[in-house]
Structure 1
Amino acid sequence: MIEYIKGTVEYIDTEYIVIESNSIGYKVFCGNPFTFQKYRNQDIQIFTHHYVREDLIALYGFPTREERLLFEKLLNVSGIGPKGALAILATGEPDKVVSAIELEDEKFLTKFPGVGKKTARQIILDLKGKLKGFGEPQEGLFAVEETEDDGAHELEEAIEALKALGYAEREIKKIKPGLQEEVLSTDQYIKKALQLMLNR
């Protein structure tokens, strides 16, 4: 229904961003909203999926049409809802997800919150062989500048974002020491945390 929104990033939360376009503020849920931190108060274009259910109407946003298509394909898998599909895409590396599906790597898929063995098998069963043409995510929009403070605020924001994605407190505690090794932006902390989760 809504192909994309071009507008200004006005607000960033742990689960969504607000884009103002033509004096309307659109609440757009994203896998990693802090990807947009650098673009606050700047114009961007984000591809959207308009999700309509009896008890929920929401907009979900993606940097590329490719990621949106993968999100939509994941939604068609029994047991995967919007929150679960976003968590799977939050790493910003859809090619790795596609590779895991094609290689039937259940162990990789079960590292995402809400994805057990049964759901991982269902993802593989439903999507293997149907994801041809997925490549690397586009560069440019999501480049991140280094932060100059001690990173404490950014780390806290990243932890809240991980909780919003469905990761348990105990899982976050296990990887927190690895996150405190260097000072990063919120977006970089989230990406590093997700990599640490997947590599456990």
Structure 2
Amino acid sequence: MISYISGVVEEIEKDKVVVDNNGIGYGIFASQSTLEQIGIGEQVKIYTYFSVREDAMQLYGFLSRQELQLFKLLIGVSGVGPKGGLAILSTCPGDSLSMAVLADDAKAISKAPGIGAKTAQKIIIELKDKIDIEDMIAGETISKPMTKASGVVGDAVEALTALGYSQTMAYQAIKSIENVDGMDVEEILKKALKNIF
């Protein structure tokens, strides 16, 4: 199995990147957010997933291990293949997917081409217990089972949703606050509201 490929970006196509590693050009399918973060001639390290089917062998690549982990979780959901997983990560890049799952935001996930409302709901049900909001806020996307934020973070999320913000927006606002640990709810709310506006 190929865990990652380091090399120079030779080409960027609509849905993939070609990375030169010691004279061999690897064609790696990638999400739009990944393709937008790299440029031709740049040195990159891409974490890969090697998909083998009867009719094709393909590499899928990600700039972080966390994104690769999310991709593996997505393709573990019945009805979501590698192309569908990439489409979802293109529509909900970074922590947006984790936040959409935790907030039961099927609409955000179903914006991905080829992903309907039923599949989006199935993704939420299957991934919800695999994503921890507090570890995500601390920068680690995949962690132990936990479905709701607890303590001051949970209280802050509840307060923001009571003010009319969606849970996804509340999570994103809190995620962008540095050093949440040690803050009280009021302090988190003040900073989160500044991030929303």
TM superposition score category, shorter chain reference: 0.5 to 0.7
Of 62-71 and 102-111, deviating more is 102-111
Q: Percent identity?
A: 42
C-alpha separation in 1, matches of 2:9 and 2:116: 35
Counterpart residue type for residue 78 of structure 2? S
Pairwise CA distance, 1:73? 0.5
Determine the structure 2 residue equivalent to 1:2: 2
Q: 1:92 to 1:101 in 2, by over 3 A?
A: closer
Q: 1:134 to 1:70 in 2, by over 3 A?
A: farther
Displaced runs of 4 or more, over 3 A: 133-137
Q: Which runs of 5+ in 1 are unaligned?
A: 138-200
Are 2:29 and 1:35 aligned?
Answer: no
Residue matched to 1:53: 53
Do the aligned partners of 1:10 and 1:18 also contact (CA within 8 Å) in 2?
A: yes
Partners of 1:134 and 1:72 in 2: CA distance: 17
Pair 1:53–1:94, CA change in 2 (3 A): same
TM-score, with normalisation over the residues of structure 1? 0.63
Residue in structure 2 matched with residue 70 of structure 1 by the alignment: 70
Cα deviation digits, residues 84-134 of structure 1 (max 9, x gap): 110111147331111111121122222111111210121012111102344
- What one-letter code is carried by the residue in structure 1 that aligns with 2:75? L
Q: CA RMSD in A?
A: 1.9
Residue in structure 2 matched with residue 23 of structure 1 by the alignment: 23
Contact 2:15/2:29, CA 8 A, preserved across alignment? yes
Deviations 1:135-172 (A, max 9, x none): 569xxxxxxxxxxxxxxxxxxxxxxxxxxxxxxxxxxx
- Partner residue of 1:80? 80
Corresponding residue for 2:115? Answer: 115
Asked whether the equivalents of residues 8 and 41 of structure 1 are also in contact (C-alpha less than 8 Å), the reply is: yes
Using the size of structure 2 for normalisation, the TM-score is 0.64
Does the CA-based 8 Å contact 1:9-1:36 persist in structure 2? no
The number of equivalent residue pairs is 136
- 2:5 maps to a residue whose letter is I
More displaced stretch, 61-70 vs 102-111: 102-111
Measured after TM superposition, the shift of residue 36 of structure 1 is 4.8
SS in structure 2 of the partner of residue 27 of structure 1? strand
Structure 1 residue 81, shift from structure 2 partner = 1.0
Alpha-carbon separation, structure 2, partners of 1:104 and 1:71:
18
Instruction: Find the aligned partners of 1:134 and 1:69 in 2 and give their Cα distance.
Output: 13
**Equivalent position SS for 1:49:** strand
What residue identity is the alignment partner of 1:46? I
State how far apart, in whole Å, the 1-side matches of 2:74 and 2:5 are: 22
The change in CA–CA distance for 1:26 and 1:92 in structure 2 (over 3 A counts) is: farther
Q: Which has the higher contact order (CA 8 A, sep 6+)?
A: 1
Structure 1 residues 26 and 131 mapped into 2: Cα distance closer, same or farther (>3 Å)? same
Query: 1:13 corresponds to which residue?
Result: 13
